Structure 1
Amino acid sequence: GREGRFEAVGVASDSAPNRSVSSQGWFQTYLKVSNIFANLFPVWTVLAAGAGLANPALFSWLSTQYFTLGLAILMFSMGITLTLSDFKRVMSKPGPVTINFLCCYVMMPLLGLLLGRAFNLSAPIVAGLVLVGSINGGQASNLCTYIARGDVALSVVMTTSTTIGTIFMTPLIAKVLLGTIVPVDAVGVAVSAMQVVLLPIVLGVALNSAAPKFCRQVEPLCPTIGVTSTVLLVGASVAGCAQAIKNSGWALQIVVMLLHLVGGAAGYWLCRVCKFGETVSRTTAIETSMKSSAFGVLLATLHFGDYLVRVPSAVSVVWMAIMGSSMAVMWQFMPVKDLGDDQEEE
């Protein structure tokens, strides 16, 4: 659980090698500021989305090329906090990881499809909802899990498993569920997933294996880089669809909110039904609810013919942050009473 080092926001630093007293002081100050900055991630997300909606020109410099680079940097910053032993943990805790994977790539795409049809939304918007459902878990879920008193190490493993899974699952779902609704380049989706997701993570893990001391030194920079990249991606995502978001009205807002809310609740109760404890259930709920929506915007922009397909992902970047952080804050004030139950999946 929370007793381990929180890789996602780079909290640990006592092992930093031989700094002078003054530099150590500056470093501790940086860490405190960095942690406050990272913990306010949902606030920055909403502010960036509001700015993108009100004045899209603010983010006009962030072209698709820079957007892709920003996502790759985000994935790389995650990769250098991971080791091969983190991947081995997938095998040691297959139950929760499998439930999360199925929630991510079976339940959420189908939920997006059902909600889109239930609210009688247009075909490209429905396709966009399914796309939101079929992308990997977002990196901010690790932060929200920490705040919610969940299992951060398990959260990192879950995020990693769905992130690697997106290489083959997202194009497969796009072809099976969306191929008859809107034109989609499934091969292009797979190639983008490999370029933007897999390659940066592999490079990050490789660097961490080859130069662990160096990575431990730069790791505290990861939260600042990760949050800054995410906030810029959110602003650019909303700015690129600002008029379409305004035109879509409240129906799309409600549907996207429900997608993240119902998804999170289902993830939680699935774990409870399967006799996993509170800590694991909270972790799975947040992992299921929070998606890498900016990646959805990129995929829709590059590989879907209809402009409107990207709109649900742009709306999702905001609701994903709001729902995830709301769950985290709510659970932070609710103590975990059944820690014994969580030993069942050890």
Structure 2
Amino acid sequence: MSPDLLTKVILPLSLFLIMFGMGLSLKIADFKNVVKSPKAVAIGLIGQMLILPLAAFIIAIALQLPPEIAVGLMIIALAPGGATSNMFTYLSKGDVSLSISLTAVVSVITPFTIPVMAALSMSFFMANSSEFSLPVIKTIVQLLVITVIPVAIGMFVLSRWSNFAGKLENFLKWFSVLFLILIIALIAMKNKDEMLNFFAQAGLATLLLNIVVLVIGYQMAKLARLTHAQAVSIGFEVGIQNGTLALLVAGSLIGNEIMMIPAITYSLIMFFSGAAFGWWINKHNNR
């Protein structure tokens, strides 16, 4: 499998299907929940849209990451949550409705914020390099086509054929998680001699980012006196990002394989750290 086939065909198509599957689980009521739980949603949005990128920026500076690795770290921090964060929320007895609502809202916002913030990150970290660029308007349109439009189609299918949508959504939910694992496995096989080097370059940064924002998201919710279930949801929404989208932005839209490295290491690490975090918060809560 050539890199072009993976980044230009398989990644966009898989993300389209993943976002379509997300749409199959969404109703207009999920967006109305934003109004019903404004405090919880506000904490989640602040954590994901502000604290998460800020944490990535501080880590990139503190660890003196190479420019392209630093931009890749910023891209994963700019991505929304996804099926994986929803899955961890469910398994950890969090507020699934809040998790889905936050994922939906942030997924609508990020097609506009990712191109702008990624371009600014490239300008800051790669000021002396003009080899790679990110056309902001074109990228916004591409992300809208790949993310928002399939969500809207999925919501339409759910409104018209709910039984069929329920069956298909259950399949696509697990497909999104398994397909991310498959993509990472294919990349790992293709670069098997470089995987240790990948982790040497980005492993510590992505591990720190993942753990720090999981804890910050959860503690922000606790300090705001939200329920334990809401705190669990916000912890995972802030701490577990859409690795497939980050891979697509770095590999397909920007066309830089080095920038994909943080998304690769992050996507491998998050399954273990997410499971450990879910076990820890529930053990702590039971005490």
TM-score normalised by structure 2 residue count: 0.88
Match of 2:45 among 98, 101, 118: 101
Could you tell me whether the CA contact under 8 Å between 1:151 and 1:283 is conserved in 2?
yes
TM-fit CA distance, 1:225? 2.8
- Tell me whether 1:168 sits opposite 2:112 in the alignment: yes
TM-fit CA distance, 1:323? 1.7
Match of 1:273 among 212, 217, 223: 223
Name the SS of the counterpart of 2:86 in structure 1: helix
Match of 1:68 among 6, 9, 12: 12
Could you tell me whether the CA contact under 8 Å between 2:17 and 2:150 is conserved in 1?
yes
In structure 1, what is the equivalent of residue 155 of structure 2?
205
Query: Residues 224 and 165 of structure 1: is their aligned pair in 2 closer, same or farther, counting only changes over 3 Å?
Result: same
Name the SS of the counterpart of 1:179 in structure 2: helix
Q: Which runs of 4+ in 1 moved over 6 A?
A: 57-61
In structure 1, what is the equivalent of residue 77 of structure 2?
133
In structure 1, C-alpha distance between the alignment counterparts of 2:153 and 2:197, rounded to whole Å: 41
Match of 1:303 among 245, 253, 256: 253
Query: Residues 67 and 175 of structure 1: is their aligned pair in 2 closer, same or farther, counting only changes over 3 Å?
Result: closer
TM-fit CA distance, 1:232? 2.2
Match of 2:271 among 321, 324, 331: 321
In structure 1, C-alpha distance between the alignment counterparts of 2:108 and 2:265, rounded to whole Å: 24
**Equivalent AA in structure 2 for residue 326 of structure 1:** A
In structure 2, what is the equivalent of residue 342 of structure 1?
none
Aligned residues: 281
TM-fit CA distance, 1:309? 1.5
**Equivalent AA in structure 2 for residue 173 of structure 1:** M
In structure 2, what is the equivalent of residue 90 of structure 1?
34
Range that drifts further, 197-206 or 236-245: 236-245
TM-fit CA distance, 1:179? 2.7
1:194-273 pair list within 5 angstroms: 194-239=144-189, 244-250=194-200, 252-273=202-223
TM-score normalised by structure 1 residue count: 0.74
Range that drifts further, 322-331 or 160-169: 322-331
Range that drifts further, 124-133 or 296-305: 296-305
In structure 2, what is the equivalent of residue 110 of structure 1?
54
TM-fit CA distance, 1:190? 1.4
TM-fit CA distance, 1:278? 1.7
**Equivalent AA in structure 2 for residue 255 of structure 1:** A
- Tell me whether 1:186 sits opposite 2:136 in the alignment: yes
Query: Residues 63 and 191 of structure 1: is their aligned pair in 2 closer, same or farther, counting only changes over 3 Å?
Result: same
1:117-128 pair list within 5 angstroms: 117-128=61-72
In structure 2, C-alpha distance between the alignment counterparts of 1:316 and 1:163, rounded to whole Å: 19
Q: Higher Cα Rg: structure 1 or 2? A: 1
Could you tell me whether the CA contact under 8 Å between 1:234 and 1:314 is conserved in 2?
yes
In structure 2, C-alpha distance between the alignment counterparts of 1:70 and 1:132, rounded to whole Å: 17
Higher RCO (CA 8 Å, separation ≥ 6 residues): 2
In structure 1, what is the equivalent of residue 244 of structure 2?
294
In structure 2, C-alpha distance between the alignment counterparts of 1:245 and 1:97, rounded to whole Å: 38
Name the SS of the counterpart of 1:136 in structure 2: coil
Flag structure 1 segments of 5+ consecutive residues without an equivalent.
Answer: 1-56, 338-346
TM-fit CA distance, 1:244? 5.0
Flag structure 2 segments of 5+ consecutive residues without an equivalent.
Answer: 127-132
Query: Residues 326 and 228 of structure 1: is their aligned pair in 2 closer, same or farther, counting only changes over 3 Å?
Result: same
In structure 2, C-alpha distance between the alignment counterparts of 1:99 and 1:91, rounded to whole Å: 13
Could you tell me whether the CA contact under 8 Å between 1:171 and 1:186 is conserved in 2?
yes
Could you tell me whether the CA contact under 8 Å between 1:138 and 1:291 is conserved in 2?
yes
Name the SS of the counterpart of 2:79 in structure 1: coil
Could you tell me whether the CA contact under 8 Å between 1:184 and 1:305 is conserved in 2?
no
**Equivalent AA in structure 2 for residue 204 of structure 1:** G
Indicate the RMSD between aligned Cα atoms, in angstroms: 2.4
Query: Residues 63 and 240 of structure 1: is their aligned pair in 2 closer, same or farther, counting only changes over 3 Å?
Result: farther
TM-fit CA distance, 1:74? 1.1
In structure 2, C-alpha distance between the alignment counterparts of 1:198 and 1:237, rounded to whole Å: 27
Q: Report sequence identity in percent.
A: 21
In structure 2, C-alpha distance between the alignment counterparts of 1:87 and 1:240, rounded to whole Å: 41
**Equivalent AA in structure 2 for residue 105 of structure 1:** M
Name the SS of the counterpart of 2:124 in structure 1: coil
In structure 2, what is the equivalent of residue 149 of structure 1?
93
Query: Residues 106 and 243 of structure 1: is their aligned pair in 2 closer, same or farther, counting only changes over 3 Å?
Result: farther
In structure 2, C-alpha distance between the alignment counterparts of 1:58 and 1:88, rounded to whole Å: 44
In structure 2, C-alpha distance between the alignment counterparts of 1:290 and 1:229, rounded to whole Å: 16
